[in-house]
């Protein structure tokens, strides 16, 4: 009897000390349930959200590259086959860059979903309602932008609006239509505009940032009146937003967050942007995986067309004499901002909206504001069609390395005429092949 | 883990073990041989499991840094493949195939009872490759190696044993023997027997012009037209620069080992010091190791013994970026820079092309090194509590400090923009184990023998790293981060622990009928509270038929044993320390404020990966064991695979750690050792082994692409299967490549990729011949593998049909391109348009990787004992030896034994990988 008591005591001691011995806690992570619990952790989660928005695979480089490489003005000059496919518009569904962008956008959405879900429920006395609204509003804005990018890149997509806590949380969801996807963007933008403060911040979303994105949204949706209204809200805020002269003033000389920027992702030592690596030649510390092609170089170098926008390009020493893009150039600090919305775009949005509304003079005024800043003579187009064509040409050079060209041509339906892409299936990127394998509910984009 | 039984047996083993200089085959079996097994040792006759025991003396011909590479071709069923020809670099080592995707496939390595770490601590990248931590162990200190393969042999290591166990026993002294001094040395040279063949400058220009014209662009504006017309000059004006011969050199190897061993009645000792230096045949790699070994055993009284094993080593590697990626890539800069492009710019500065560094700069200024400081030690005490009951306790430590530094000066691409870049990384890895065993052995009435062992073990593993980086240096003269204007730093730490209980019961009747039961229970901190424990039993039986009366009279059969066993083993190695938890992590900062993001999704159900294994074995000795045959058939089935299961990324997560998927490995192993001639002066022995492993992924819900996206893991196919677009032929009328349109939709899309061949061989093994005549000995050792494929990614870049113009070199094979209707070739018409050169990966670059290698050839001469005695030596032997003297292959690259990365899920992917060197060395073995 006594023996068995000792034995039992011994065994229970052993098992309890075993349990303790095996209880090892992480020192670099926290459990998801403890991630957003108060003001401080909510703020860090929103910082993390911007970090995801600016990650390499999203606005850091991959996502804008999908557009500018597809746009016909950038040539592939490297060794990797993924950008080769994009630049030659020979995309296959297993393209690595397409897959990584798709994944990065949904990762951003996940983080936004967590924040939108968690913050309103918190009862930290130090966490004011205003601050809660601001942080939640930022998450709504980022989610709106993310779905907007999915919509223009891939068409209608699966709408995931709550955080994933268990693997099965979002299984079996079909793709929404393009219309529904855009409706979600608008709904999030409205929510963001409602919650965000009316302040100026070029690195984080404010109500003004939401208005600027709305202007772009309505242009894509061909709701030109609304596009005009929201573009005007920003343009008229001249105390905060201006077209800087010369063109290079918004990026050269290591400047950041200039009055040109409505929204840019900021980078620092603790969050670097590797975009320069793809553009700069080896002598300047990059690998020049791609470069402006001869046509773009000659346009930018034409003083009557490119004007002072030739600051975007440089040439290596002989005997190489290779042209390269230098919008992203800050090595090794990696502090080149990702330019998401610039005031120049709002001028061109409004110009296009007004031209389409028949306000040709006003349209030309906005166009010429951008031309003037670039140091070129005012445009003289006098018909709606001619003005729209001039705007398209202006956007081509103004945003040459900013991921606008392809989306712009697809949006206006000019991609067949300009790039000879007649297969409408090719106006969107392929749904990544691996995703189709992992998700039976996900339908492919036809033609890939 | 030499338990109580082992000490006396080991003494015995050492007295019968052949001295270093004999040529007895490592695989030769003597009936009296003693085999080290888990937590003990058994006589060969009593072994129930599949164990291959190798005397280290038999495999020392190859002057490589680590013992695992020396095992290549030596043990049936053990596939060993070096990733590169760089000394001390990673080795692919598989016992009976690949059982896991994410949980690790390396065996458990145990050195004198210490569970050692074999995962690289390297953090400063050499672009895909990683150092081999097993190179920290001086092969000269190893006495024997036991490779435990089946469930009976491995189950006592339970949770660590699904991939087999490699037990290393180091040398110890002998009681009651006079001091013995051993001195072994060799020195030699190493060089690359074959390099890649690149085109000349004019040929390069011709190809590019041809692409231009074939693309439909005007001849007048072809890139290589006269400079006066704005071109790069006519093809025939182009120079040719041979960068490959700039980077390869004649390497040098040297090795010294000095040892002292002996003992008295109560004490025995083994002391040794070693130094190994290998200057690789490729700049700027070299490897040095200095090592020290002290093994001591002391009998305190009749009942109590204590002892210790200690080894301390320092391995210094001078590294270079020889793998993938252009920046700083020394082999890539040599191999991939177009040959017509000059080394200098017009103004005399170093020219840099196509993302690559200037090769001269890299040769001159590559400054990367690492120092591994490693202590492996064990302290044990054992006591005879009763006459047959023994207790043993042991404490073990594997402490590894891995200190890395790199400095890229302003001439290099990595350092040019940042005005110098330096990285320091110091990693520490600590594995500690404490074990207690009680063992009891009895033979009542001489007919029955019963052995019982029970034990417990607790272990911990701590990994930590401190990392610092500096940029913006005053000048190239300042190389330490202290001088840098901009610095960043970081640190990380992780830990896991394990608790285990184990037991073994052995029984035999008259040495005729043998049975063995093993059981182990393990709990790991990596799993959720309810899933921590895993239970791993095994049961084995054997029948020594030779002991039966009806065989005792059959003289031709000198031994016959039949073995069968079944059991379970586990695996949890490769997964994260907190894989089952849903976690958020920091470090995702914004505007210099801290940021956090979701990192992984919780799976509280996560538990052990389990492998069950059948083994049927036969040991047969014929004609007094002049012929001995060992045959094993096995069937392994791994279920609940620890898998990073792909999730729909719309969930925000790419994968989740889960128990999902099943893999089977079936195969056989055959080892034959023969003594062909044995006379007074002449002995000829042959050892041959061959193994076949059939690997198949039995269940996997979703196909998963390995890194580089050339191999795919998919249900119904073996691991390391290639997934490519299959090129059927080149149309002899148009010159266009025709790919198989699998889904017949008239287009070549991602859906047309298909599983095509595998990187693991169908058969592999070795053939060894030892001949001795009087004082002379000759060893000829071949190893081979057959039926494996290699993706030659160098060719993907080198035969890119003009699409890579001035960015990549072109190889000679590109010249075999289709040029005019009627040409029959598999190299398509040169053009940058269409699919001829745009698809990746394509079967055109998937090549047969089978080979037969004369792995080593050694000729030695032992000075007659009488002469040796005059200088007070008991043995003097001189030898000359060569490795990789001859290679039979179909592969178009220099060597099919290559792999670009240390990622275990990628095999047979060749991209800028240094080939195996050929070496010749002279050596001396001296025993005083």
Count of Cβ atoms closer than 10 Å to residue A198 Cβ: 9
Q: What is the pLDDT of residues B737-757, one digit of tens each?
A: 999 999 999 989 889 999 999
- Helix or strand holding residue B185 (H, E): strand B177-191
Chain B partners within 8 Å of A107 (Cβ) = 597-598, 649, 652-653
The 3-state DSSP class for residue B214 equals: helix
- And the tokens for A92? 């296959």
**B387 burial level (CB within 10 Å; 0-12, 13-18, 19+):** exposed
Cβ contacts of B341 within 8 Å, gap of 6 or more = B241, B351, B353, B806
Residue B698 main-chain phi, psi, to 5 deg:
-80, -30
Residues in chain B with CB shorter than 8 Å from the CB of A28 are 492-494, 585-586
Over 80: is that where the pLDDT of A330 sits? yes
pLDDT band at B182 (very low <50, low <70, confident <90, very high): very high
In a domain? residue B730: no
Alpha helices (H) along B243-283: 244-247
- Whether the predicted pLDDT of A385 surpasses 80: yes
Q: What is the pLDDT of residue B19?
A: 33
Q: Express each pLDDT in B770-795 by its tens digit.
A: 999 999 999 999 999 999 999 999 99
Let me know: does B470 contact B422? Beta carbons within 8 Å. yes
pLDDT at A104 over 70: yes
Chain B environment of A113 (Cβ under 8 Å):
652
Measure the CA–CA gap between B543 and B775, rounded to whole angstroms. 41
Phi and psi (nearest 5°) for B206? Answer: -60, -45
Percent of chain B with pLDDT over 90: 78
For residue B20, pLDDT over 50 is answered with no
Mean pLDDT within B320-328: 85
| pLDDT per residue as tens digits for the range B202-251 | 999 999 999 999 999 999 999 999 999 988 999 999 999 999 999 999 99
Q: Sort out which chain A residues have CB atoms less than 8 A from B647's CB and list them.
A: 167, 438
**How far does B354 lie from chain A, in Å, by closest CA?**
7
Tell me the chain A residues in contact with residue B422 when contact means C-beta distances shorter than 8 Å: none
> Per the structure, how many domains does chain B have?
1
Q: What is the per-residue pLDDT for B10?
A: 34
- Please give the ipTM for the structure prediction: 0.92
Contact B21, B925 (CB under 8 A): yes
**Which stretch of A164-173, B11-20, B428-437 has the lowest confidence by average pLDDT?**
B11-20
Size of chain A in residues: 448
User: Is A22's CB within 8 Å of B499's CB?
Assistant: yes
Minimum-distance CB partner of A271 among B342, B589, B804? B589
Tell me, yes or no, whether B40 lies in a domain: yes
Of the CA atoms within 13 Å of residue B412, those in its CB half-sphere come to 25
Contact A195, A133 (CB under 8 A): yes
**Chain A residues in contact with B577 (beta carbon < 8 A):** 24, 26
Q: How many CB atoms lie within 10 A of CB A322?
A: 18
Secondary structure (DSSP) of B602-631: --TT---EEEEEEEEEEEEEETTTTEEEEE
The reply to whether residue A270 touches residue B753, judged by beta carbons under 8 angstroms, is no
Q: What residues of chain A lie within 8 A of the CB of B835, using their CB?
A: 90
Q: What are phi and psi of B508, to 5 degrees?
A: -145, 150
pLDDT tens digits, one per residue of B26-71 = 333 444 578 888 888 888 888 888 999 998 888 887 888 899 999 9
The answer to whether B129 touches B901, Cβ cutoff 8 Å, is yes
- Indicate the pLDDT class of residue B538, thresholds 50, 70 and 90: very high
CB spacing of B416 vs A284 below 8 angstroms: yes
Count the Cβ atoms, other than its own, within 10 Å of residue A16: 10
CA angle in degrees (0–180, nearest 5) for A140-A141-A142: 95
Please give the mean pLDDT across all residues of chain A: 94
pLDDT at B608: 92
For B648, the closest of A19, A271, A435 (CB atoms) is A435
Q: How many residues does chain B have?
A: 928
**Exposed / middle / buried, residue B629 (Cβ in 10 Å: 0-12, 13-18, 19+):** middle
The highest-level CATH class for domain A36-265+339-438 is mainly alpha
d(CA B556, CA B559): 9
Calculate ∠ Cα B198-B200-B204, nearest 5°.
Answer: 90
Quick check: is B154 in a domain?
A: yes
The model's pLDDT over B429-472, given as tens digits with 9 standing for 90+, comes to 999 999 999 999 998 878 899 999 999 999 999 999 999 999 99
Average pLDDT of every residue of chain B = 91
Domain ranges of chain A: 36-265+339-438
Rounded-to-integer distance, Cα A224 and Cα A297, Å: 33
Residues of chain A with Cβ-Cβ distance to B471 below 8 Å are 332
The tokens for B908 are 């047979």
Whether B749 and A93 lie within 8 Å, measured CB to CB: yes
Is it the case that residue B325 has pLDDT exceeding 90? no
CA distance B646 to chain A (A): 6
B313's tokens: 């080593």
Query: Residue B17 has what pLDDT?
Result: 32
In Å, how far from its chain's centre is CA B470? 33
CB contact under 8 Å between A434 and B705, yes or no, is yes
B561: confidence class by pLDDT, cuts 50, 70, 90? very high
Name the residue in chain B with its Cα closest to that of A52: B588
Handedness of CA B295, B300, B302, B304 (dihedral sign): negative
A323 band by pLDDT with thresholds 50, 70 and 90:
very high
Residues with Cβ within 8 Å of B354's Cβ and at least 6 positions away in sequence, in order, are A78, A79, A282, A288, B326, B336, B337, B338, B806, B807, B808
Contact assignment for A160 to B349 by CB distance below 8 Å: no
Q: Would you state the pLDDT for residue B450?
A: 92
Residue B559: CB atoms within 10 A of its CB come to 21
In a domain? residue B87: yes
pLDDT at A435 over 50: yes
Containing structural domain, residue B525: 6-186+249-472+495-713
Q: Which pLDDT does position B499 carry in this prediction?
A: 93
Whether the bond into A198 is cis, omega within 30 of 0? no
Domain with residue B644: its CATH number is 2.40.170
Question: B618-668 pLDDT, tens per residue?
Answer: 999 999 889 999 999 999 999 999 999 999 999 999 999 999 999 999 999
**Cβ contact, residue pair B417, A173, below 8 Å:** no
Taking CB atoms and an 8 Å limit, are A93 and B347 in contact across chains?
A: no
For A219-238, write each residue's pLDDT tens digit. Answer: 999 999 999 999 999 999 99
DSSP letter for B351, please.
P
Phi and psi, residue B569, nearest 5°: -140, 165
Q: How far apart are CA B261 and CA B927, in angstroms?
A: 11
* Minimum distance, in Å, between the CA of residue A232 and any CA atom of chain B: 29
Q: Is B910 left (phi over 0), alpha (psi -120 to 50) or beta?
A: beta
Q: Which two tokens stand for residue B522?
A: 């393990």
Cα separation, A44 vs A31, in Å, equals 15
Could you give the CA distance from residue A33 to residue A26 in angstroms, rounded to a whole number?
Answer: 14
pLDDT at B99 over 70: yes
Residue A3: the pLDDT is 52
Nearest CA-CA distance, residue A126 and chain B, Å: 19
**Structure-block tokens of residue B148:** 């435990």
B801-808 average pLDDT score: 91
Work out the pLDDT band at B613, boundaries 50, 70, 90: very high
The model's pLDDT over B473-495, given as tens digits with 9 standing for 90+, comes to: 999 999 999 999 989 999 999 99
User: For A31-55, what is the mean pLDDT?
Assistant: 96
- Using a pLDDT cut of 90, give the percent of chain A over it: 85
Span B867-895, mean pLDDT?
94
Angle between helices A207-220 and A178-195 (to 10 degrees): 160
Q: What is the pLDDT of residue B21?
A: 31
What's the whole-model pTM score?
0.90
Establish if B600 belongs to a structural domain.
yes
Check: CB of residue B407 under 8 Å from CB of residue B398: no
Q: Look up residue B681 and give its DSSP letter.
A: S
* SS3 state of residue B176: coil
Determine the Cα–Cα distance for residues B414 and B329; give it in Å rounded to an integer: 10
């Amino acid at each position: 009897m006594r023996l068995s008591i000792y034995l039992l005591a011994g065994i229970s001691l052993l098992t309890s000390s075993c349990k303790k011995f095996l209880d090892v806690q992480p020192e670099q992570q926290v459990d998801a349930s403890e991630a957003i619990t108060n003001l401080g952790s909510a703020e860090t989660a929103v910082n993390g959200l911007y970090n995801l928005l600016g990650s390499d695979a999203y606005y850091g480089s991959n996502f804008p590259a999908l557009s500018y490489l597809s746009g016909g003005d950038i040539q592939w000059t490297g060794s990797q086959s993924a950008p080769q496919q994009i630049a030659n518009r020979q995309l296959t569904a297993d393209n690595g860059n397409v897959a990584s962008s798709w994944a990065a956008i949904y990762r951003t959405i996940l983080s936004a979903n967590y924040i939108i879900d968690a913050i309103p429920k918190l009862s930290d006395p130090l966490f004011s309602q205003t601050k809660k609204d601001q942080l939640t509003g930022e998450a709504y804005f980022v989610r709106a932008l993310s779905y907007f990018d999915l919509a223009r890149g891939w068409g209608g997509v699966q709408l995931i609006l709550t955080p994933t806590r268990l693997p099965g949380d979002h299984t079996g969801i079909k793709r929404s239509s393009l219309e529904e996807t855009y409706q979600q963007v608008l709904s999030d933008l409205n929510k963001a505009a409602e919650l965000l403060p009316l302040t100026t911040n070029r690195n984080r979303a404010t109500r003004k940032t939401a208005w600027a994105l709305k202007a772009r949204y309505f242009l894509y949706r061909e709701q030109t009146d609304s596009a005009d209204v929201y573009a005007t809200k920003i343009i008229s805020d001249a105390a905060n937003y201006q077209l800087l002269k010369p063109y290079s003033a918004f990026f050269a000389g290591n400047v950041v967050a200039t009055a040109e920027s409505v929204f840019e992702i900021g980078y620092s030592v603790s969050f670097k942007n590797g975009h320069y690596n793809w553009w700069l030649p080896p002598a300047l510390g990059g690998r020049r995986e791609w470069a402006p092609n001869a046509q773009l170089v000659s346009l930018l170098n034409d003083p009557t067309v490119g004007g002072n926008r030739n600051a975007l390009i440089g040439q290596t020493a002989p005997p190489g004499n290779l042209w390269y893009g230098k919008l992203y150039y800050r090595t090794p600090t990696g502090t080149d901002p990702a330019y998401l919305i610039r005031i120049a775009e709002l001028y061109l949005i409004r110009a296009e909206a007004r031209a389409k509304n028949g306000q040709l003079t006003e349209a030309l005024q906005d166009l010429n504001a951008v031309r003037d800043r670039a140091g070129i003579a005012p445009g003289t187009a006098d018909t709606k069609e001619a003005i729209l064509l001039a705007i398209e040409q202006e956007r081509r050079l103004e945003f040459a390395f900013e991921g606008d060209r392809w989306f712009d041509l697809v949006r206006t339906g000019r991609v067949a005429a300009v790039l000879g892409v007649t297969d409408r299936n090719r106006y969107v990127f392929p749904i990544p092949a691996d995703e189709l394998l992992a998700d039976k509910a996900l339908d492919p984009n036809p033609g890939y | 883990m030499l338990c109580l039984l082992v000490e006396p047996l080991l003494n015995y083993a050492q007295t019968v073990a052949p001295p270093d200089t004999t040529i007895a085959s490592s695989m030769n079996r003597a009936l009296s041989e003693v085999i080290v097994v888990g937590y003990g040792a058994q006589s060969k006759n009593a072994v129930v499991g599949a164990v291959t025991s190798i005397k280290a003396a038999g495999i020392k011909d190859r002057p490589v840094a680590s013992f695992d590479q020396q095992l290549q071709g030596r043990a049936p069923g053990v596939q060993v493949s070096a990733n590169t020809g760089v000394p001390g670099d990673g080795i692919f080592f598989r016992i009976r195939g690949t059982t896991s995707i994410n949980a690790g496939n390396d065996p458990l390595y145990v050195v004198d009872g210490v569970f050692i770490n074999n995962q690289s601590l390297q953090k400063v990248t050499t672009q895909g490759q990683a150092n081999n931590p097993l190179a920290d162990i001086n092969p000269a200190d190893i006495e024997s190696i036991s490779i435990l393969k089946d469930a009976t042999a491995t189950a006592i290591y339970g949770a660590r044993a699904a991939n087999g166990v490699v037990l290393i026993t180091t040398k110890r002294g002998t009681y009651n023997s006079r001091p013995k001094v051993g001195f072994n040395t060799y020195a030699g040279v190493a060089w690359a027997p074959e390099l890649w063949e690149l085109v000349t400058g004019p040929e390069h220009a011709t190809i590019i012009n041809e692409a231009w014209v074939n693309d439909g662009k005007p001849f007048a504006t072809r890139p290589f037209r006269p400079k006066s017309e704005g071109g790069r000059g006519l093809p025939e004006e182009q120079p040719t620069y041979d960068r490959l011969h700039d980077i390869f050199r004649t390497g040098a190897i040297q090795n010294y080992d000095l040892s002292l061993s002996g003992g008295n009645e109560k004490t025995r000792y083994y002391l040794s010091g070693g130094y190994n230096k290998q200057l690789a045949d490729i700049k700027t790699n070299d490897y040095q190791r200095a090592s020290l070994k002290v093994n001591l055993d002391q009998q305190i009284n009749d009942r109590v013994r204590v002892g210790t094993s200690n080894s301390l080593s320092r391995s210094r590697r001078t590294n270079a970026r020889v793998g993938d990626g252009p920046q700083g890539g020394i082999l890539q800069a040599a191999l991939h820079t177009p040959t017509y492009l000059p080394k200098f710019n017009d103004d005399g500065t170093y020219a840099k092309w196509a993302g690559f560094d200037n090769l001269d700069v890299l040769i001159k200024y590559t400054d990367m090194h690492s120092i591994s400081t490693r202590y492996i030690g064990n302290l044990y005490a054992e006591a005879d509590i009763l006459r047959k009951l023994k207790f043993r306790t042991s404490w073990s430590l594997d402490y590894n400090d891995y200190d890395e530094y790199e400095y890229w000066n302003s001439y290099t691409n990595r350092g040019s923009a940042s005005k110098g870049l330096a990285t320091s990384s110091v990693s520490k890895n600590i594995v500690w184990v404490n074990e207690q065993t009680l063992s009891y052995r009895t033979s009542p009435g001489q007919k029955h023998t019963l052995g019982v062992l029970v034990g417990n073990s607790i272990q911990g593993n701590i990994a930590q790293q401190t990392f610092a980086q500096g940029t913006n240096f005053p000048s190239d003269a300042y190389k330490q981060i202290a001088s840098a204007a901009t610095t960043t730093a970081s640190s990380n730490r992780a830990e896991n622990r394990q608790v285990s209980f184990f037991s073994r019961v052995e029984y035999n009747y008259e040495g005729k009928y043998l049975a063995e039961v093993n059981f182990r229970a393990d709990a790991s901190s990596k799993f959720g509270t309810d899933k921590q424990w895993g239970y791993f039993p095994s049961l084995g039986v054997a029948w020594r038929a030779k002991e039966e009366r009806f065989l005792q009279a059959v003289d031709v059969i000198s031994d016959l044993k039949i073995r069968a066993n079944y059991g379970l083993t586990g695996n949890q190695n490769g997964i994260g320390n907190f894989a089952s938890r849903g976690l958020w992590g920091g470090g995702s900062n914004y505007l210099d404020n801290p940021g956090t993001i979701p990192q992984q999704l919780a799976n509280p159900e996560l538990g052990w990966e389990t492998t069950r294994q059948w083994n049927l074995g036969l040991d047969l000795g014929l004609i007094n064991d002049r012929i001995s045959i060992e045959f094993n058939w096995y069937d392994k089935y791994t279920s609940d695979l620890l898998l990073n299961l792909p999730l729909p990324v719309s969930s925000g997560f790419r994968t989740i750690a889960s128990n999902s998927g099943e893999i089977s490995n079936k195969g056989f192993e055959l080892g034959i050792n023969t003594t062909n001639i044995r006379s007074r002066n002449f002995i000829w022995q042959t050892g041959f082994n061959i193994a076949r492993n059939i690997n198949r992924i039995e269940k996997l819900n979703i196909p998963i692409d390995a890194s580089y996206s050339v191999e795919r893991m998919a249900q119904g196919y073996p691991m390391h299967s290639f997934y490519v677009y299959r090129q059927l032929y080149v149309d002899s009328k148009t010159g266009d490549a025709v790919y198989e349109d699998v889904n017949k939709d008239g287009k070549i899309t991602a859906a047309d990729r298909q599983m095509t061949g595998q990187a693991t061989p169908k058969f592999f093994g070795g053939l060894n011949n030892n001949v001795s005549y009087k004082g002379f000995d000759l060893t000829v050792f071949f190893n081979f593998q057959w039926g494996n494929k290699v993706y030659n990614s160098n060719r993907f870049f080198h035969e890119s049909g003009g699409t890579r113009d001035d960015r990549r070199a072109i190889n000679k094979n590109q010249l075999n391109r289709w040029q005019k209707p009627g040409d029959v070739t598999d190299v398509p018409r040169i053009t940058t348009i269409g699919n001829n050169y745009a698809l990746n990966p394509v079967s055109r670059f998937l090549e047969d990787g089978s080979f037969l290698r004369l792995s080593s050839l050694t000729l030695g001469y032992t000075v007659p004992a009488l002469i040796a005695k005059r200088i007070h030596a008991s043995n003097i032997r001189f030898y000359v030896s060569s490795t990789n003297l001859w290679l039979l292959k179909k592969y178009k690259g220099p060597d099919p034994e290559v792999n670009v990365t240390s990622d275990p899920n990628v095999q047979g992917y060749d991209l800028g990988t240094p080939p195996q060197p050929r070496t010749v060395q002279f050596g001396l073995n001296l025993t005083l």
